[in-house]
Copies of this chain bind each other. A is one copy, B any other.
Amino acid sequence: MIKLYGFWRSAAAFRVRMALNLKGLAYEETMIDLDAGEQHGASYLSINPHANVPTIFMDGVPPMTQSLAILEYLEEAHPTPPLLPADAPARAYVRALALIYAADHHPLIVPRIRRYLTGTLGVSDEQRTDWIRHWFREGLVQGEAKLREAAQAGRFSLGDAPTIADLCLMSQAMGARGFGITTDDLPITHRIVEACLAIDAIGRALPLKQPGAPASH
Chain A positions within 8 Å of B, measured between CB atoms, are: 49-50, 59, 61-62, 64-66, 68-70, 72-73, 76-77, 88-89, 91-93, 95-96, 98-100, 102-105, 107-108, 113, 116-117, 120-121, 123, 127, 130-131, 134, 142, 145-146, 148-150
Which residue of B has the minimal Cβ distance to A75? B88
**A-B pairs, 7 with minimum CB distance:** A103-B103, A69-B95, A66-B96, A69-B96, A73-B92, A61-B89, A76-B88
Asked whether, in the complex, the Cβ of A70 is within 8 Å of the Cβ of B92, the reply is yes
**A100 engages B50 (CB within 8 Å):** yes
* CB <8 Å contact, B105 and A92: no
**Can you list 25 pairs linking A and B with CB atoms under 8 Å apart?**
A50-B142, A61-B89, A62-B93, A64-B92, A64-B93, A65-B96, A65-B146, A66-B96, A68-B99, A68-B103, A69-B93, A69-B96, A69-B99, A70-B92, A72-B92, A73-B88, A73-B89, A73-B91, A76-B88, A104-B107, A105-B107, A107-B108, A108-B113, A120-B134, A121-B121
Q: In the complex this chain forms, how many copies of it are found? A: 2
Q: How far is the CB of A47 from the nearest CB of chain B, in Å?
A: 12
Instruction: Give A92 to B73 CA distance when docked, in angstroms.
Output: 6
Question: Cβ of A130: which chain B residues have Cβ within 8 Å of it?
Answer: 120
Residues in chain B near residue A70, CB distance under 8 A? 92
Most buried by B among A49, A88, A105, A149: A88
Q: Which residues of B contact A92 (CB under 8 A)?
A: 61, 64, 69-70, 72-73
Given contacts A68-B99, A95-B72, contact A127 B121 (CB under 8 A): yes
Q: Enumerate chain B residues within 8 angstroms of A104, measured Cβ to Cβ.
A: 66, 107
Q: How far, in whole Å, are A87 and B143 apart by their CA atoms in the complex? A: 31
Task: Give Cα distance in the complex from A89 to B69, angstroms.
Answer: 10
Q: Could you tell me the distance in whole angstroms from the C-beta of A81 to the nearest C-beta in chain B?
A: 17
List the B residue with the shortest CB-CB distance to A112: B138
* A73 nearest in chain B by CB position: B92
Q: Which of B61, B77, B99, B148 contacts A66 (CB 8 A)?
A: B99
Contact B108 A95 (CB under 8 A): no
